[in-house]
Amino acid sequence: MASPYEDEDAVDGDVAGNRLIIVIGEDAAPRLDKALAAAVPEEAALSRSRLMKMIDEGDVLRNGVAVTNPKTKVKEGEVYTLILAPAVDVATLPEDIPLSVIWEDGDLIVIDKPAGMVVHPAPGTPSGTLVNALLHHCGDTLSGIGGERRPGIVHRIDKDTTGLLVVAKSDRAHHGLAAQFEAHTVNRRYLAVVNGVPSAYDPRIRGLKGITFEAGGILKIATHLERHKTDRQRQAVVWNSGRHAVTRARVMEDFKGGAALMECWLETGRTHQIRVHMAYAGHGLVGDQTYGGKKKVSPKLFGAEVAEMGNSFPRQALHAATLGFAHPVTGEMLEFTSPLPDDLEGLLAALRKGQV
């Protein structure tokens, strides 16, 4: 069993901060790491990897002495003190970048991301990212993810994709959200503009492995995806390796047979999944320079001006429009929607006008 948190000042050189007292109960696992993982209360939100790090760094004490071997044998009734050091600041710098905050509380924040913003810093984009902006916006309200004062990224959308993301501000929210994404219980729906119109009556698309049509004309694409063998920036459809990926989509608006507004939803969430799957089906996204394929907006169908607008669209026409999940702490069901950004609204308006 475990006691509530104890706020204590540092003594005898211990790190100041919260301490958690764990008493080894009956039928506990025989080794320290497994026994602690089972005994730590859920609200502490200490992952197995975090516990291993704490053991290694001497933050798990028995009778005031650090126990640094995770395989240490434990006995019923032994008392262990876990020193929960304050979250440390990360090397990534906070930046005062405007954010469109849809919802926020002490455990999570929902953002409507603009086009052009990278979610996480990387060697090519060390600054100007969503994480930089969140570090500034959230400040001291970040209680620490894995011992670091940083936002917990549980899913991403591409740099040039717009729309909704949820980010954890606390360890307990991070674990809870990650579990929902892993269980595929998060409702993520996207709006996409594609070249051509997928049809159940098209023998070409029906003949493609992994593609079926469900009731209501819903297109289902089930493949495996992995990094392309020769172009490491791309993902590729494969069958005997990679990771399972399932996308469903339906036509919401048919533009003269030459383009379509699609609603797409994910059973899994792989890198570039919608873009790769729609390209595999022969209906790549308008503006997608990586996966768009040979199909283009036809000047014969829409006129030269509309075709030029569609074929020069500066990004993949993809928007994360709906995001629904259970609050990882309260259990409340939450669902958020984001309106189409101006550039996609303009593209749709042009396609509609071109049909007249």
Catalytic residues: 158
Instruction: Report d(CA 248, CA 184) in Å as an integer.
Output: 14
- Amino acid identity at 306: V
Rounded CA gap, 285 and 291, in Å?
8
Which distant-in-sequence residues (6+ apart) come within 8 Å of 236 by Cβ? 225, 226, 227, 228, 229, 276
What is the C-alpha separation between 160 and 3, in angstroms, rounded? 47
Which pair of structure tokens corresponds to residue 255? Answer: 């533009």
CB atoms within 10 A of CB 93: 13
User: What H or E segment, with its residue span, contains residue 248?
Assistant: strand 243-255
- Lookup result for tokens 């995001």: 323
Extract the tokens encoding 337: 């929607």
In the block, residue with structure tokens 């109960």: 25
Q: What is the DSSP letter of 43?
A: G
Contact 120/153 with Cβ under 8 angstroms? yes
The residue with tokens 């958690």 is: 20
CB 157 within 8 Å of CB 120: no
The residue to which tokens 């071109």 are assigned: 354
Query: What crossing angle do the helices spanning 32-39 and 48-56 adopt, rounded to 10°?
Result: 130
Assess contact for 246 and 222: CB atoms under 8 A.
yes
